Amino acid sequence: MGGCVSSCTRVAVINWIESDQTRERFHQGKTMIKKVLIGIVCGAAVLTVGILIGHFGITKGGSSGPSWVEDVAKDVDQSLIEKFLSEVDNIQIQENLRELTKVPHMATTAGDEQTVQFMLKRWQDAETGLDDAWREEYLVYLSFPDPKNPNKVTVVSPSDTVLHAIREKEKTYNPEEDDPAVVQPYAAYSPAGHPKGKLVYANQGKPSDYQVLNQTVDLRGTIAITRYGGAGRGAKAINAAPYGVIGVLVYTDPLDINDGLMSDINETYPHSWYLPPSGVERGSFNVQFGDMLTPYLAAKEDTYRIPAEDITGIPPIPIQPIGFEDAYILICALDGENAPQDWQGAFNCTYKYGGPGFKPTSAFNGSDVKLDIFNYEEVKNSSNVMGIIRGSVEPDRYVIYGNHRDSWVHGAIDPSSGTSVMLELTRVLGRMVKQGQWRPRRSIIFGSWGAEEFGLIGSAEYTEQYFAKLSERTVAYINVDIAVFANATLSASGMPSVQNIIFTAAKQVDAPGLVSTSVYDNWIKYSNRTSPAHGVIPRIGYLTGAGSDYAAFAHYLGITSMDISYTYDRSKTNARIYPAYHTAYDTFNYASKFIDPGFLSHQAIARTAGNVLIQLADSLVLPLNCSDYAETLEDYLKTAVSLYEEKLESRKISMEPLKRAVANFRSAASHLDNVIRTSDLANETPLKVRAINDQLMLLDRAFLDPLAFPDKYAYRHVIWASSSAGQPTFPGLADAFANADLSGQSSDWNKVHYHLSVASQAIEGAAQTLVDVI
């Protein structure tokens, strides 16, 4: 009995214990379930709140991530371009030009300072100005005529009797041309002097002209009369001096500027745009650009200056420009053999070499021509006016837009047409910035350059002062100097990579005065070419010389550059430039009456150049095309092979390295274009976009070789250096070949081989910058 009780009791205890544990587990389970349910409810609540926050954040803020993410991925806004185009006002441009041309504003004069103040006032305006504007000062070496001793040119008898005096001041047709600040026609940087000698006619003053003339006439002690064109201004005297010529006159032949018209009674200004008989083209007669006393250094107060006697590239003998009314009198009185047919001009007489001197039947028989030149040189303060709009995403990348401000007289077309356009661009863009409607991705720098007419001085000094910063950071340079030569069609020059962006802009702008026709469609009618890649397209020229302020940016810094203008129909005139160029007649009246009545071509240029500016400043990927560059290099190669390969092979000089380099550049360009085309760069990391943009931005820098052209000041770009050979191919190779072919000397053929290697390796090196990083 006792065992049974004990066993039952044990079972009962065990059952009690187990039931107690079960209850505990049950309670624990309930607690766990409660916690899980609470967690689920809380998680759902958090998720719901997150969705709501995300929804309203996207709706209200535009992005669920940091604010900079959208900015970094943003591309150019076409609606903003349309707004810009609609707001560019031709009447505003007209009024800008009226203000800019009120007084003559030759560099460093009181009129120039007046335009400096006008630019600053506009760019510092609270409603339409830029983020900042200031002036940059340089002390530069300039040349002026002495107002107390005007330059004179006379025909004098053996007894020094004056038989004829050249007009010292242009004829006045309108009051503004009689302004006391109108500078006498002169040749800047011509030395003072008083040469006297028999007159000869030397055509355009090219080396070949003097060579031909010297075969017939003893040039020692003579005065040469030359016409504009063919050779640079200063070169006409530089080329003459080795032959013993002691003075030079230069004039504009009516054949070259007026389509032969000569009478101001009913043919020339003030009846048309043609140059009147007394009109004289002023100009700078130096060969190099930049301040001549501070080569490769910014011309600041404490900068080292070379001695003036060490300056090169200026006339070694006195030279003076004159009007064609006086040139007619002199040339038609000359004795000697008839000049070649291609030396003949518009005068109704046969142009002769000169006996030297005048015909026995002339009233000037036995007489000399005398130059009394009183020019002097002076170091003076010249100002650039600078303005900026700061970039929002890449403020350390610069798009530079420039135009010089100084003129020889009133300068309505050169340069104030460009300045009036630039002021309208900054008014429209500045107002957008001030009103918070827009800020460019990249920074925009505006430059109103000083002393350009004396040799591109303001822009050259700027590039020398900021060489490192501009080299590292500048995307492109846009030059609009003479905005409107005439009102027929667009004209543009630049590196091949800018072709696409200019075309794009031109397609979005209406051609002035034409219904449903774009600037692009109008342009292609006047000047076109056939591209293997694009078919028939407008022809864009190349920046192979130093005609305006793009020179230092393109040739010295290797910055992708362009020059844009509106111009005339070259099938209807032989004018080498607009006829009032650098004369007292380049006034507001001339511009508004004969060049662009209504200022619609000015408006078209403002819209086109401004469109290019916005796209360069705002595009996610820089709109520069490497394959278009490759096409140009292939064209250059084709010309070089055709002209040079046979003779080079005969001298054991192979063109294969050049062929390989161009082929490799094409391959690399195609590769980069394909990367850009196939990548969704808006969703890539910003660094990938930046890397591609750097490849595009720095392409022209890759063609720089500071040792390639030791005899050409500031020319470092192997593809676009100036050339005297006149062939559309690699300039160093072309010039070296022409020289070697003429001399036949082995040392000159070695230079050909050298320049072939320079071009090959520059192109190969540039190609390597376009491939993937290794």
Mind giving me the DSSP string for 594-620? Answer: II-GGGHHHHHHHHHHHHHHHHHHH-S
- Cβ neighbours, 10 Å, residue 214: 17
- Higher-confidence residue of 43 and 106: namely 106
Residue 30 in any domain: the answer is yes
pLDDT of residue 684: 86
Q: pTM to 2 decimals?
A: 0.91
Q: What are phi and psi of 383, to 5 degrees?
A: -115, 135
Residues 245 and 238: their CA atoms lie apart, in Å, by 10
The boundaries of the domain holding residue 421 are 73-143+382-618
> How many Cβ atoms are within 10 Å of 255's Cβ, its own excluded?
18
Average pLDDT, the chain: 92
Verify that 239 and 351 share a domain, yes or no.
Answer: yes
Query: Measured between alpha carbons, how far is 531 from 533 in angstroms, rounded to an integer?
Result: 5
**387/331 same-domain check:** no
Give the strands of the sheet with 152-156, arranged side by side: 162-165, 152-156, 368-372, 196-197
In a domain, 440, yes or no: yes
What's 232's domain CATH number? 3.50.30.30
Please choose, from the candidates 418, 334, 384, the residue with its C-alpha nearest in 3D space to the C-alpha of residue 602. 418
Q: What integer is the mean pLDDT of 421-439?
A: 98
Q: How many domains does the chain have?
A: 4
Q: Return the bridge partners of 479, or none.
A: 402, 563
Phi-psi map region of 581: left, alpha, beta (phi>0 left; psi -120 to 50 alpha): beta
Same domain, 110 and 152: no
Strand 394-404 versus strand 474-479 pairing type: parallel
> What integer is the mean pLDDT of 601-629?
98
Mean pLDDT of 432-447: 97
- State mean pLDDT over 292-309: 98
CA distance 382 to 462: 12
CATH number, domain of 137, equals 3.40.630.10
Asked if residue 301 has pLDDT above 90, the reply is yes
Half-sphere exposure of 145 (CA within 13 A, CB side): 26
| Mean pLDDT, residues 343-361 taken together | 98
- Quote the Cα angle for 505-507-509, to 5°: 75
- Rounded distance, CA 769 to CA 316, Å? 45
**Tokens in use for 170?**
């242009």
Do residues 137 and 153 both lie within one domain?
no
Determine the longest span between alpha carbons in the chain, in angstroms: 175
Residues 368 and 422 in one domain: no
Residues 361 and 485 in one domain: no
| Two tokens, residue 389 | 């709009």
pLDDT tens string 500-512: 999 999 999 999 9
Would residue 612 count as lying in a domain?
yes
Return the pLDDT at 25: 47
Rounded to 10 degrees, the C-alpha dihedral 195/197/203/206 comes to -50
Give the per-residue pLDDT at 51. Answer: 37
Please give the Cα distance from 448 to 429 (Å, whole number): 17
* 67 vs 475 pLDDT, higher one: 475
The predicted pLDDT at position 3 comes to 41
Ranking 34-43, 478-487, 493-502 by mean pLDDT, the lowest is 34-43
Instruction: Let me know whether 576 and 650 are in one domain.
Output: no
Predicted confidence (pLDDT) at residue 635 exceeds the cutoff of 60 = yes
Selecting among 377, 452, 461, 631, the annotated active-site residue is 452
Active-site residue 452, yes or no?
Answer: yes
Q: Would residue 65 count as lying in a domain?
A: no
| pLDDT of the residue at 65 | 65
pLDDT of residue 774: 63
Q: Are residues 135 and 155 in the same domain?
A: no
Contacts of 79 (CB under 8 A, 6+ apart): none
Task: Note whether residue 66 is domain-resident.
Answer: no
What's the helix, strand, coil split of the chain in %, to 5?
Answer: 45, 15, 40
Q: Tell me if residue 87 falls in helix, strand or coil.
A: helix
Mean pLDDT, residues 706-735 taken together: 96
pLDDT of residue 773: 72
Q: Are residues 394 and 468 in the same domain?
A: yes
Is residue 612 domain-shared with residue 674, that is, in the same domain? no
* Phi, psi for 511 (deg, rounded to 5): -70, 135
611 and 475 within one domain: yes
Mean pLDDT of 123-131: 97
Rounded Cα distance between 578 and 657, Å, is 44
Per DSSP, the three-state class of 201 is strand
Query: In terms of Cα–Cα distance, which of 444, 443, 461, 465 is closest to 452?
Result: 461
Confidence of residue 58 (pLDDT cuts 50, 70, 90): very low
Phi, psi of 374 (to 5 degrees): -115, 25
- Cα-atom radius of gyration of the chain, to the nearest Å? 35
| Whether the predicted pLDDT of 694 surpasses 70 | yes
Residues 224 and 129 in one domain: no
| 694 assigned to some structural domain | yes
Looking up tokens 């006697």 gives 309
